[in-house]
Amino acid sequence: MVRVTNPDETATIDVPRQVPPLVLIAGPEAVLAERALAQVIADVKVSSPEVEVLHQYTESYEPGAIAVATSPSLFGEETLLVVHDLDEAPEAMQTDLLEYLGAPEPDVTLVVMHKSGNRGKKVLDTLKKGKALRLGAPAMKSDRDKTDFATNEFRRLRRKATAGAVAALVQAVGKDPRELASACQQLVDDTTGVIDDEVVMRYHGGKVEATGFQVAEAAIAGQADEALRLWRHAAALGESPVPILAVLALQLRQLAKVGAAGRGRSADVARALKMAPWQVDKARRALQGWDGGGIGRSIQAVAQADFEVKGGGLGAGGRREPAYVLERCILEIVAERESAGRR
């Protein structure tokens, strides 16, 4: 949908895009692909409310099914056919698609979904030649991708959220984009006013990811007592040292990368390092009081601790308790920061 302002009113109105007869939704991120498909269907239904929406799935496909689905309706109704998972399509489905694309029906909108890979390449090339509308569903791998996604989610839901709130939410539930979208919806539904980081932590502060970032931030800031308190509280709730160490490693590596990048605009450094600008700003603040050698030794300490809690480093006295290993690692990081401050 294209959102425009009515010149006679202050409100906005939705104007449907003209959907072409061929649409390709490409990319592995399921939540984005589902959003794109829902929008295409909604846009088609604006101009053709009685359109018949049909779906073809690779695992249950039978030869000739596409020809049947796209054949002219006895009642003159339009058809929207969605072909799922072209990247897993059997040869029969690909052959039938190529045959249809050679002579498409005027009252049919064909939507093809393809996650990744070379399977179905002939169909993809034919769709491209046919000037199909291409909608992307790229994988969200970096925190920057997820930050942009969450920011857009709040914008789509017409709710203001601070940059700190978005950062906290990504830290708390950022592993799964679908869970991230659900968390944005929950915050919008359950709260009022501007969503800030305190609101996010009230709802999601108990997550392992959030706990890990809190422990890491305290340790990197040289706050040994606070880092240990946060870890022991998490441990009492049954949390494992493994994800805490993963976050410590991530945070320290970000410090090292940002420190080595030198000066420059946050946006430029973020683009070069594939980080979000707020992460660069946060790392620069955390770097005060550190030096390169201390960060390097801290990264090594985390790597050693991770090795030990996963079963390595057995000595004469047997394996050390994972909780002890993590606490020792935290104290080593704090000691490195204190030493750097004295140098």
Give the pLDDT score at 319: 56
Q: Write out pLDDT tens, residues 334-343.
A: 999 998 766 6
Say what the pLDDT of residue 12 is.
36
Q: List, in order of start, the domains of the chain with CATH numbers.
A: 2-136 (3.40.50.300), 143-204 (1.10.8), 208-342 (1.20.272.10)
Average confidence (pLDDT) per 10 residues, the chain, 343 residues: 38 56 96 94 92 94 95 82 97 97 94 96 96 94 87 94 85 84 94 88 69 87 92 82 86 92 89 85 90 93 90 56 93 92 64
Please write the tens of the pLDDT for every residue from 305-330: 989 888 765 544 445 788 999 999 99
Query: For 212, what's the count of Cα atoms within 13 Å in the CB-facing half-sphere?
Result: 22
Residue 83: the pLDDT is 98
pLDDT for the residue numbered 341: 64
HEC string for the chain? CEEEECCCCCCEEEECCCCCCEEEEECCCHHHHHHHHHHHHHHHHHHCCCCEEEEECHHHCCCCHHHHHCCCCCCCCCEEEEECCHHHCCHHHHHHHHHHHHCCCCCEEEEEEECCCCCCHHHHHHHHHCCCEEEECCCCCCHHHHHHHHHHHHHHCCCCECHHHHHHHHHHHCCCHHHHHHHHHHHHHHCCCCECHHHHHHHHCCCHHHHHHHHHHHHHCCCHHHHHHHHHHHHHCCCCHHHHHHHHHHHHHHHHHHHHHCCCCHHHHHHHHCCCHHHHHHHHHHCCCCCHHHHHHHHHHHHHHHHHHCCCCCECCECCCHHHHHHHHHHHHHHHHHHHHHC
Residue 250 has what pLDDT? 85
